[in-house]
Structure 1
């Protein structure tokens, strides 16, 4: 594995609807800087859904982490809610409720786990592009 291609960034985000756009823009810059602009559209959509989910369902701040290995790009969002994410079928005509369905469809893998006592509890929701 070429460790020059491995990197990780983290962005602390306030509980603010503008955080979604900030996260997308930062991710776009990261991917372009590392020559991965072709992943931008899908990765930005996935990050948007994860950050939006954190904003809608958690009362506090969140953190987007972006990690690249030789084999995959992982996006993860920590938030202050201990409730596990749910993929649901939104009611007809509903404006929201499709985010995790989009993540499940577009990501090669995704999941979540509770954070316990670290970082004030909460949970981490992650997804990967590439990989096994």
Structure 2
């Protein structure tokens, strides 16, 4: 693995529904610039769900971090809520429009998790997921 296999970007997002589209657009640019187009569709959906979850469940801004390390692509979103994400365990009707985000993350990511942050000036939580190449 050389240094070109490792990189990291962060984008601070306001508490706005527009932030989801901005995050997706930035992620597309990052992955294409680094020749990772094969991960684009899945990574974009995962990032959308993580940022949407932050917008819906946290009262403040969020931050999307995209990190490449070896064969792994990690997407993480920090937000101002301390409540952990929970995949909905309700029946999914075809017409249900909300509550599926973390189920999608659980299904598509190779691994995912979260942890609380308690540092001064950076409280809240971080939700992350990873995709492996190949």
Relative to the length of structure 1, the TM-score reads 0.94
Q: Secondary structure at the match of 2:35?
A: coil
Question: Does 1:112 pair with 2:111?
Answer: no
Q: What runs of 5+ residues in structure 2 fail to find an aligned partner? A: none
Alignment of 1:54-93 (within 5 A): 54-90=54-90, 92=93, 93=95
Question: Does 1:34 pair with 2:9?
Answer: no
**Would you tell me which structure has more strand in proportion to its own residues?**
2
Runs of 4+ displaced beyond 3 Å: 90-93
TM-fit CA distance, 1:89: 2.8
TM-fit CA distance, 1:71: 1.7
Equivalents in 2 of 1:104, 1:36: separation in Å?
22
Q: 1:118 to 1:38 in 2, by over 3 A?
A: farther
Q: 1:102 to 1:74 in 2, by over 3 A?
A: same
RMSD: 1.3
Return the match for 1:100 from 75, 99, 102: 102
Aligned length: 131
Q: What runs of 5+ residues in structure 1 fail to find an aligned partner? A: none
